[in-house]
């Protein structure tokens, strides 16, 4: 057998294969799904602290008000918004819409822009008191 000098699959990115938005969006959808699953434990922690009342909830509120807690909440919000919009995109694909390449790229960029805008709007409203 001849020894061909072809790149192996882990080394294809960069040399042979150009990273595309479809690849990035698919990877991010899976990653945000994992983050949301992990965030469900945070939600359960919040509900348990709420049920326990008093000091338990005060300790959790202090933790969530810290810079690290706010960063975690911001990340959870961004993951939730992205996963929602990309899930709607996938539902449209399940209905047979938006499969041509320009539509795939357009919907991908739309999801990215909407994620940034909606996450920013949620946090803007949350930080100004929701009024």
pLDDT value at position 97?
94
On whether residue 62 sits in a domain, the answer given is no
Q: Of the candidates 117, 130, 131, which has an alpha carbon nearest to the alpha carbon of residue 82?
A: 117
pLDDT value at position 18?
75
Binding positions for heme are 83
- C-alpha torsion angle, residues 66, 70, 71, 75 (rounded to 10): 150
pLDDT value at position 54?
87
Binding positions are 83
User: What total number of domains does the chain contain?
Assistant: 1
> Domain residues for 112?
21-38+67-127
Within the chain, residue ranges assigned H as helices are 12-15, 21-52, 54-65, 67-94, 101-127
On whether residue 59 sits in a domain, the answer given is no
What is the reported pTM? Answer: 0.82
Residue segments in the chain with a per-residue pLDDT below the cut of 50: none
On whether residue 29 sits in a domain, the answer given is yes
pLDDT value at position 26?
93
């Amino acid at each position: 057998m001849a020894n061909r000098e072809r790149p192996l699959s882990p080394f294809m990115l960069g040399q042979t294969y150009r990273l595309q938005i479809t690849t990035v969006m698919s990877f991010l959808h899976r990653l945000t799904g994992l983050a949301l699953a992990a965030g469900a434990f945070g939600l359960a922690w919040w509900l348990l602290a709420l049920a326990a009342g008093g000091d338990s909830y005060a300790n959790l509120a202090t933790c969530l008000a810290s810079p690290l807690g706010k960063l975690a909440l911001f990340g959870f919000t961004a993951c939730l918004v992205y996963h929602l919009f990309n899930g709607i995109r996938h539902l449209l694909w399940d209905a047979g819409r938006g499969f041509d390449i320009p539509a795939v790229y357009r919907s991908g960029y739309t999801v990215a822009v909407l994620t940034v805008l909606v996450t920013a709007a949620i946090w803007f409203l949350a930080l100004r008191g929701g009024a």
